[in-house]
Structure 1
Amino acid sequence: MKLVILDRDGTINSLADEEAFISSVEEWVPVPGALQAIASLNHAGWRVVLATNQSGLGRGLFDVTTLNAIHALMHKQLAALGGRLDAIFYCPHTAADACNCRKPAPGLMEQICERYRVDPRTVPVIGSCAAHLQAGAAIGAQLHLVDSGQGAAIDPALSLPAGTHRHADLAAAVAYLLASAAALPAGAG
């Protein structure tokens, strides 16, 4: 099975410069090309799963109904392009909760790999923030930073785990994955 784990904020949806997350349906604006990239993965036989910190829940900034409405809009827009997310895993905790599911802790990604019975070393993890990449590094995943969201501000010399691939956005990361998979000998992927 081919599985990829994506971050949401800054990877799939756009953020204003001062924002780290969105808290309403009205703020949901896809990064140009992101939804098409997910659909391309689906059409190539990949399962796409979201792993996202949603501390706004724990801080009372929005509720689960609002989070579900944001995700419903995302699903609707993806479906219009022939794409889908296979699952959404989210952590509702704040940093003060010291849970194992809030990235950079690896809990969400471990849960995903366990549910889909995949070797984490075969899983590309794509995100726009250091915490997402750190969680991926903790499980031994293949790391891909996108420069949308907070990614552009990350200094590779100081903040990126070894072996991280860097891309302009999700569309570029997906193009890289699809080209890499096409280059593998039959049966190797």
Structure 2
Amino acid sequence: MKKFFTIFIVATVSACASAQSSVLADILQDLELIKREVGKLSLEIERLSAENESLKKALKDAQNAATSNEGMNAATASLRAEINSSVAKSQSETLAIVRKELDSLASQTNANLEKLAKAIGAKPQGQVQTNFSENYPKMGVTHTVVRGDTLSKIARKYGSTVKWIQDANRIADANRGLVVGQTIFVPTKE
């Protein structure tokens, strides 16, 4: 019986060793699978880190571009305001020069009409208006005179007055001061 117990013990130990060996093999296989999965996860983490850095850079570039665009918009607005101011000043100066020249021309015309009237021995029918008011709106439109236009017709068309048009364009005679093709400034309230 001793022999039987020995064989039984050897067989039991063998079976236990074989079972342990099988469990050990399974554990080793599981560890190998875990290593592979950890490797895959490490690669995925590296890829996500690189993508994160790329997104951070893109965000920073976009923020810099937005800041740059705001600066450009502000500079453009400032430049536009400066140009508008310069244009308005230039228009005002040009109108003043034209008015001065027209006044001078009107004075010369009056003087020449008086000389002509004296030369032919007649009195002039009337003086050409040389005093023009500055009291009219500085905003308005331009109008090119066509056949049949009168100052009153033009004034009605644009919501202006004959006096404003005469003053703005230094038109001495409201009845004879227009020439077809002539461009005049028509002051308006708005």
TM-score (norm 1): 0.21
Q: Which has the higher helix share?
A: 2
Say which structure, 1 or 2, has more relative contact order (CA 8 Å, 6+ apart): 1
TM-score (norm 2): 0.21
